[in-house]
Amino acid sequence: MIKAEALSRTYGDLVAVDQVSFTIGNGEIVGLLGHNGAGKTTIMKMLTGFLEPSSGTVVVDGFDPSRQRQQVQQRIGYLPENNPIYPEMSVLDYLDYAAALHGVAPEARTARIRDAIERTELTSRATALIGTLSRGYRQRVGVAQAILHQPKVLILDEPTNGLDPTQVQHMRELIRALSRQATVILSTHILQEVQAICDRVIIIRGGRKALDATMAELRAGKRLLVSIDAAPERALPLFRAVTGVDTVEALGSDGPQQRYALDLAGGHEPLDAAPVIAARIAAAGVKLYALTPETRDLETIFGQISAQGGR
Query: pLDDT tens digits, residue range 266-296?
Result: 778 888 899 999 999 999 999 999 999 887 7
| Domain 220-296, classified CATH 3.30.70.3100, yes or no | yes
Share of the chain above pLDDT 70, in %: 98
Enter the pTM of the model: 0.76
Topology at the third CATH level for domain 2-217: Rossmann fold (3.40.50)
Q: Please report how many Cα atoms fall inside a 13 Å half-sphere around the Cα of residue 253, on the Cβ side.
A: 9
Can you give the pLDDT at residue 309? 53
Can you give the pLDDT at residue 27? 87
Q: What is the pLDDT of residues 123-163, one digit of tens each?
A: 999 999 999 998 888 988 999 999 999 999 999 988 887 77
What CA–CA distance (Å, rounded) separates 13 from 28?
35
Question: Do 2-217 and 220-296 share a fold?
Answer: no
Terminal Cα distance for the chain, rounded: 29
What CA–CA distance (Å, rounded) separates 3 from 291?
42
Residue 167: phi and psi, rounded to 5, are -65, -35
Q: What is the pLDDT of residues 174-215, one digit of tens each?
A: 888 888 889 999 988 788 888 889 999 999 999 999 999 888
CA angle, 228 then 270 then 191, to 5°: 100
* Burial of 216: CB neighbours in 10 Å, binned 0-12, 13-18, 19+: exposed
Rounded to an integer, the average pLDDT of 102-111 is: 94
Rounded to the nearest 10 degrees, what angle do helices 135-147 and 165-178 cross at?
10
Delimit the domains of the chain by residue range.
Answer: 2-217, 220-296
